[in-house]
Structure 1
Amino acid sequence: MKMNPLQTLYVTQFLSAFADNMILFITLAIIKQQAFPDYYIGVVQACFLIAFVIFAPFVGAFADKNAKSQVLLVGNAIKAIGIIALFLHLDPAVSYGIVGIGAAVYSPAKYGILPSLTHSESELLRANARIEGYTIMAILIGSVCGGVLAKISLTGSIVACFALYLISLLLTLQIPRISGNSSIRYVKEARAFLTDMKLLLKDRTTRFSLVGTGSFWMTSSVVRLAIIAWVPAHLGIQSVDQISMLVAVTGIGIMVGALMTPKLIPARKYYNSYVFGIVMIISILLFPLITNLYLTICLLLLVGFSGGVFIVPMNTVLQDKGQGMVGAGKTIAVQNFLENSMMLAGVGIYTQISKDGLSPDISIMGIAVILAGFVGYLIIQRQRLKIVV
């Protein structure tokens, strides 16, 4: 049975994100096997994020100039090169950095193509919810499979990642080639990147979305790394595959939250998503008090669910409004730049304090306080929007 373009996009995104998250836990296993210091997982993650920050001024223009289906293909091909580098025993940080370049190319097209494949704001919201849901499902299953396969065979797990990228690449060929804007010039657009970012930050609606999504992903990146260190300290679990399963529980919550978002928060009431940001903060602050496995699972589910509902409405309104302001691809590129700059800052701080020997509890409480500051800003902005709810 032939899939329609949206369904094909969901599958290609699922497979690509699946492999992305396998790699992180394969890399964690390599770090443990080769006796790298524990904080090196933060260095690896930082190399992935740096690619998004460096290439942000160019990848948006690349996505808007070319058929987005072709851009998805290029992104997957670069990711596959990163896997080959890992197979050839290059430094894990370098290999994961190459994967990051592929992901940076892939992301603007992944989201930027949605307005072209949908026909209304409500359909765009559903498409966003689904692609977010499939992405989180990929994070969930990919994280678990990465940990399990790495325990069985590192070489086999790396080959599996390569195969997933290859299948995703081939499926991308089934997505229609919708011509981009051939008049776009990369140097000119790179210079205009700061102007685009200022324009999006000046508008209250898009600024609200950018601050919200950036704070969510910064928090998620730090919590994910902190949980990897928190689990052995609080639950006594040391095995990579078991840790990967627990980290993946958050993905279940995010997936459910993302898929339920259209029923909980209508597209035109995106500004109410801050409520779930508050729930996320409270949930994170409870972690230092927990030493029970089942309570940990419940808490991870709650953090994920609230995070999923928090982010999807803001992604939707940003794409819908940003497309008319600066272009779909460039909007996502600005979003990626801001999100990954914030994630890089968070991961950098976490890596440094881990290197200094501070406990993961401090990291978790610290990121919850920072998220609270951002959510407080969103509450103020919501009031200033003067929208009658």
Structure 2
Amino acid sequence: MKLKPLQTLYSTQFLSAFADNMILFITLAIIEQKALPGFYIGVVQASFLFAYVVLAPLVGAFADKHSKAGVLLVGNAIKAIGILALFFNLDPAVSYGIVGIGAAVYSPAKYGILPSLTRSETDLLRANARIEGYTILAILTGSVCGGFLAKLSLTGSIAVCLALYLISLAMTFMIPRIPGNPVIQYAREAKAFASDLLVLMRDRSTRYSLVGTGSFWMASSVVRLAIIAWVPAHLGIHAVDQISMLVAVTGIGIMIGALMTPKLIPARKYYNSYVFGIIMIVSILLFTLISNLYLTIALLLLVGFSGGVFIVPMNSVLQDKGQRMIGAGKTIAVQNFIENTLMLIGVGTYTQISKSGISADLSITGIAAILAAFVAYLMVQRKQLKTV
């Protein structure tokens, strides 16, 4: 049976994101095997994010100039090159950085194609919820499989990653080739990137969405690294496969939250999603008070669930308005730039803190405080958006 375009997109995104998340825990196993310092996992993550930040002025234009299905193919091909580099024993940070380049190319097309494959604002919200759900399911299962396969065989786990990227690449041929805008010029678009950023930041709705999604992903990226350090300290668990299972629990929560978003936050009331940001902050703070496995699992689920509901409505309104304002691909590129700049700052700061020996508890408290500042800003903006 032939898959429908949206179903094909969900599938190729799942496989690609699955492999992305396998690599992080494969890298963690490599770091342990080579006896590299614990903070090096932060360096690896930062190299991935750096590609997003540097390429942001170009990848949106690339996605809008060409067929987005073709752009998905190119992104997966670059990711496959990154995993081959890991196979040939290149430094994990360099290899993951190449994967980051592929992910940076892939992302604007992944989200930017959704308005073309949906018929209404509600359909777009549902599509966003589903692609977010599939992505988080990939984070969940990819993290767990990465931990387990790396424990069994590093070479085998790397080979599985490569195969997944190639399958995802092949599936992109089943997505309609919707023509892009061939008159787009990269040099001009790169110069216009700052203007695009300003256009989106001047609009109340898109600014709200950019601040909201950026703050969420900054907090999530740092929480993920902090939990890797927190689990051994609070629960006495050191095995990579077991840590990966716990980190993946957050993914279950995000997936559930993303899929339930249409019922909890109507598309036109996206500004109410800040409530779930508050729930996320409280949940993160509670980690410093517990040392019980079952409470840890429950909190990870709650953090993920609240985070999923927090970001999906903002993604939808940003894509809907951004497509009309500056173009779908360029909107996602601006979003990626803001999100990954904040994530890079967060991960870089956390890495420096880890090198200085500050506890995971203090790091987690700091993350919650920074997220609280962003959510407070969203609460102020909400009053104005209700009148728009």
Task: Give the TM-score band, short-chain normalised.
Answer: over 0.9
Q: Which amino acid aligns with 1:164?
A: L
| CA distance in 1: counterparts of 2:201 and 2:216, whole angstroms | 17
Q: How does 1:345-360 map to 2 (within 5 A)?
A: 345-360=345-360
Amino acid across the alignment from 2:14: F
Tell me how far apart the structure 1 counterparts of residues 8 and 387 of structure 2 sit (CA, whole Å): 37
Deviation for aligned residue 1:385: 2.1
The equivalent of 1:246 in structure 2 is 246
**Aligned-partner residue type, residue 176 of structure 2:** P
AA in 2 matched with 1:302: L
Q: Residue 174 of structure 2: SS of its match in structure 1? A: coil
Shift of 1:105: 0.1
Cα deviation 1:234-260 (Å, max 9, x = unaligned) = 000000000000000000000000000
Q: For residue 245 of structure 1, what is the amino acid of its counterpart? A: M
| 1:237-316 mapped onto 2 (5 Å cutoff) | 237-316=237-316
Alignment match, 1:157: 157
Number of matched residues? 388
Instruction: Give the 3 Å change call, closer, same or farther, for CA 212–204 of structure 1 in structure 2.
Output: same
| 1:366 pairs with 2:357 | no
- The amino acid across from 1:118 in the alignment is T
1:146 and 1:59 mapped to 2: Cα distance? 28
Structure 1 residue 387, shift from structure 2 partner: 2.8
Q: For structure 2, list consecutive stretches of 5 or more residues without a partner in the other structure.
A: none
What is the root-mean-square deviation in Å for CA atoms of aligned residues?
0.6
Q: Secondary structure at the match of 1:3?
A: coil
Match in the other structure for 1:76: 76
Give how far 1:384 is off.
Answer: 1.9
Read off the aligned partner of 2:186 and give its amino acid letter: Y
Residue pairs, 1:208-247, within 5 angstroms:
208-247=208-247
Structure 1 residues 386 and 266: CA distance shift in structure 2, 3 A: closer
Q: How does 1:9-24 map to 2 (within 5 A)?
A: 9-24=9-24
Which ranges in structure 1 are unaligned for 5 or more consecutive residues? none
Corresponding residue of 1:45 = 45
CA–CA distance in structure 2, aligned partners of residues 114 and 385 of structure 1:
25
Q: TM-score, normalised by structure 2?
A: 1.00
Report the Cα distance in structure 2 between the residues aligned to 1:329 and 1:267, rounded to whole angstroms.
21
Deviations 1:196-249 (A, max 9, x none): 000000000000000000000000000000000000000000000000000000
Partner secondary structure for residue 336 of structure 2 = helix
User: Equivalent residue for 2:102?
Assistant: 102
Q: Secondary structure at the match of 1:261?
A: helix
Does 2:170 align with 1:170? Answer: yes
The amino acid of 2:55's aligned partner reads F
Counterpart CA distance in 2 for 1:165 and 1:290 is 39
Amino acid aligned to 1:48: F
Residue 140 of structure 1 corresponds to which residue in structure 2?
140
One-letter code of the match for 2:145? Answer: C
Per the alignment, residue 203 of structure 1 pairs with: 203
Q: Report the CA distance between 1:349 and its aligned residue.
A: 0.4
* Offset at residue 275 of structure 1 (A): 0.3
Is residue 383 of structure 1 aligned with residue 383 of structure 2? Answer: yes
Equivalence for 1:322? 322
CA deviation map 1:39-85 (0-9, x unaligned): 00000000000000000000000000000000000000000000000
Deviations 1:237-286 (A, max 9, x none): 00000000000000000000000000000100000000000000000000
Percent of aligned pairs sharing the same letter: 79
User: 1:277 corresponds to which letter in structure 2?
Assistant: G
- Residue type of the alignment partner of 1:80: A
Q: Letter of the aligned partner of 2:70 in structure 1?
A: Q
Equivalent residue of 2:378, what SS?
A: helix
